[in-house]
Amino acid sequence: MSHTIGVIGGDGIGPEVIAEALKVVAAAGVELDTVDYQLGGARYLTDGVILPDEVIEEWRGLDALLLGAVGTPDVPPGVIERGLLLKMRFELDLYVNQRPFTAPDGSHDFVVIRENTEGTYAGEGGFLRKGTPHEIATQGSVNTRFGVERCVRYAFDLAATRERKHLTLVHKTNVLTFAGDLWERTFNEVATEHPEVTTAYNHVDAACIYFVESPERYDVIVTDNLFGDILTDLGGAVSGGIGFAASGNLNPDRTGPSMFEPVHGSAPDIAGQQKANPIAAILSAAMMLEFLGEADAAARIRKACADVSALDASTSEIGDAVASRV
């Protein structure tokens, strides 16, 4: 069975690591019909295009999207992030950001489920008297019962499929008494429908400590957009580095394609030098395959990545080593 995939290599090391991911998928015996899209900072500098609406419409007919990395120092911060990445999340309703982490020694793993379309990234806020000594800036956090509940339900359903069957809510309910209250009430109400899943709650600052000192306490974590963004970068650091950190921006309802990407940036300082670690991109492709029903190929790829995790080699050599093992 062939899957039609939109491929956005993007900027910097993006095209290099995506090339290795596609190589490994082919070696695993999965047929992909790829459609390439030139999007990112380099495209924006060429013609001012970020993400046309007609491309979004094309994507709705695809099975999934695979993205390398976007961004270049020549484009002001926020332009590509909001115009491409956030637009993808909002337009395609990619409301779950799922990021799995494995300890470097393979002794334990955990998954962070981050709400992906609300919170402080929804864009609520603005300026008053900008540029004056009396300037005011507001940045709101948008949390809806609908958005919170569907993310929480996804996390409970995921936890129920795992061996430990444990789910931790991470927030800051003692200070964020409105958003935190909505999250906590929703979490507790959905928990009553999942007696097989044990639960816990951590303030986000405590969770940051536990990520470093005792990450093995976690199984599945669910949290809001901003806290999830921070925690998942920390998760990458404690599980071997962001070169191993994969992610899926999911539309669990499958009303459109989900998007899979490594969480590292475009790293323009090492672009074209074959220094980038492609494991995160390869693992992201494995997540994509699993989401598309190719569980066996995904498992073989993850095992192969674990086998070569300590390999000190070039980008393509690491890709070859993984491909030879799947």
Q: Catalytic: which of 63, 219, 224, 229?
A: 229
**Angstrom distance (rounded) from CA 68 to CA 22:** 11
Q: Catalytic: which of 172, 218, 219, 224?
A: 172
**C-alpha distances in angstroms, 217 versus 102, 163, 245, 283?**
13, 14, 19, 23
> Is 233 among the residues known to form the active site?
yes
> Is 36 among the residues known to form the active site?
no
Q: Is 258 exposed, middle or buried (0-12, 13-18, 19+ CB in 10 A)?
A: buried
**Angstrom distance (rounded) from CA 138 to CA 307:** 48
Q: Catalytic: which of 93, 109, 157, 233?
A: 233
Q: Catalytic: which of 95, 121, 154, 218?
A: 121
Closest CA to 14 of 36, 34, 30: 36
**C-alpha distances in angstroms, 80 versus 85, 136, 257, 272?**
7, 25, 20, 21
> Is 303 among the residues known to form the active site?
no
> Is 205 among the residues known to form the active site?
yes
**Angstrom distance (rounded) from CA 156 to CA 164:** 12
**Angstrom distance (rounded) from CA 108 to CA 96:** 23
> Is 229 among the residues known to form the active site?
yes
Question: How many CB atoms sit inside 10 A of residue 47's CB?
Answer: 7
Q: Catalytic: which of 33, 36, 74, 205?
A: 205
Take residue 147 and report the two structure tokens written for it: 């958005």
Catalytic residues: 121, 172, 205, 229, 233
